[in-house]
Amino acid sequence: MMKTNDPRIMHDILMALGYMSEEFAPEIQINYGNIMLEFIIACLQYPALKVQYKAIQCLQNFEKGLMEHREVTVMEKYLPQIMQ
């Protein structure tokens, strides 16, 4: 499902990833962080603003779960792409 271009599906996936990032932190970020961050970064560049906004919220939830558990290193290699 993460390879879709349908903005509604992308929005819903981001919503689910955001919830899972809060509930299952830091395990989900550590074990599946690469897959999640690649999808979130792709959504940050999607033309629909609704998808971009949800990607930002999802990224905040992803990062919040890591900060609470002091596992921030998961995001380090993705920071240049996120900051674009």
Structure tokens that stand for 28 in this block: 């989900």
Per the CB < 8 A criterion, the answer to whether 62 and 18 are in contact is yes
Radius of gyration of the CA atoms of the chain, in A: 12
Q: Averaged over 36-64, what is the pLDDT?
A: 93
- Looking at residue 49, its pLDDT comes to 95
pLDDT at residue 83, as a whole number = 75
Q: Residue range 54-64: average pLDDT? A: 91
Predicted confidence (pLDDT) per residue in 6-21, tens digit: 999 999 999 999 999 9
